[in-house]
Amino acid sequence: MTAEAVWEALAEIPDPEIPVISLVDLGVVKDVAVDAGTARVEFTPTFMGCPALEVMRHAMEQKIGELGLDAEISVRLDDSWSTDDITAAGREKLRAAGFAPPAPRVAAKLDLVQLQRGFRCPYCGSTETKLENLFGPTPCRSIRYCESCRQPFEQFKTL
C-alpha cells in the first residue's frame, strides 16, 4: 500500500461542517507516510477550537483501517497551514455551495479595512457586498451581505 493510495482515500472524506469540500482539498492533511502496515498522517486544525477536529481524526482512522492499515494520526499545531492551502478545486467547490472562498493572506497586519472590501458574492458575482459580522456559525466563517441580490452569504475567514 502506497502513500498515494492513502491520499486518495483521505480525499474522499468530507469536511464535517462544510461537506462540499474534502479534507485534502482543505489542505489540512500535511503529510502521509506508509511504513510496514502503518499509515502516519500529520494534519492540522483550521481553527484550534474547531469541534470537527475529533470527527476528522476518527474519519481518517476509519478510512485508513478500510485499507487494511493501522493509523497513527498526529496533530500539528503551528502556523504551517493557511487558508491559502485550500486547493483551487476546493475554492471552486466552496463558491458553488454559496461560501465565498477566503481572500489570500497578506503580509500586512489584518485590519478591518481589508475585511470590509467588496468581496465577490458567490450567488450573483457582484462586488457590492458588505461585512455583516466578523463571526459566523463556525469559527472559520464570517457573515456578509450582497447589496445586489440581497442575499446574506458566508465567507471563509483568511487564516
Partner 1 sequence: MSERTDLLLSLADDELILGWRNSEWTGIAPFLEEDVAFSSIAQNEIGHARALYELAAAELGTTADELAFDRTPEEYRSAPLVELRQLEWARTIARHWLYETADEIRIEALKASTDEAIAGLAAKMDREEAYHRIHAEMWVDRLLGAPEGRERLNEAVDELWPYALGVLDDELRPALRERAEAKLGRKLPDVEAVPRGVHEAELAELWDEMTIVRRSAPAGAQW
Binding site for partner 1 (CB under 8 A): 45, 47-51, 77-80, 109-112, 115, 132-139, 143, 157, 159
Closer to partner 1 by Cβ: residue 5 or 30 = 30
Q: How far is the CB of 125 from partner 1 (least distance, A)?
A: 26
121-139 exposure pattern, b = at least 16 Cβ within 10 A, e = fewer:
bbbeeeeebebeeeebebb
Q: Give helix 3-10 / helix 52-66 axis angle, nearest 10°.
A: 130
Are 129 and 143 within 8 A, CB to CB? Answer: no
Q: How far is the CB of 50 from partner 1 (least distance, A)?
A: 7
Closer to partner 1 by Cβ: residue 49 or 68 = 49
Closer to partner 1 by Cβ: residue 37 or 137 = 137
Looking at this protein, which amino acid is placed at residue 54?
A: E
Q: In terms of DSSP H, where are the helices of 32-111? A: 52-66, 88-96
Q: How far is the CB of 126 from partner 1 (least distance, A)?
A: 22
Closer to partner 1 by Cβ: residue 62 or 80 = 80
Q: How far is the CB of 140 from partner 1 (least distance, A)?
A: 10
Are 7 and 32 within 8 A, CB to CB? Answer: yes
Closer to partner 1 by Cβ: residue 1 or 58 = 58
3-state SS, 114-150, equals HHCCCCCCCCCCCCCEEEEECCCCCCCEEEEEECCCC
Q: How far is the CB of 53 from partner 1 (least distance, A)?
A: 9
Quick one: cell of 157?
475567514
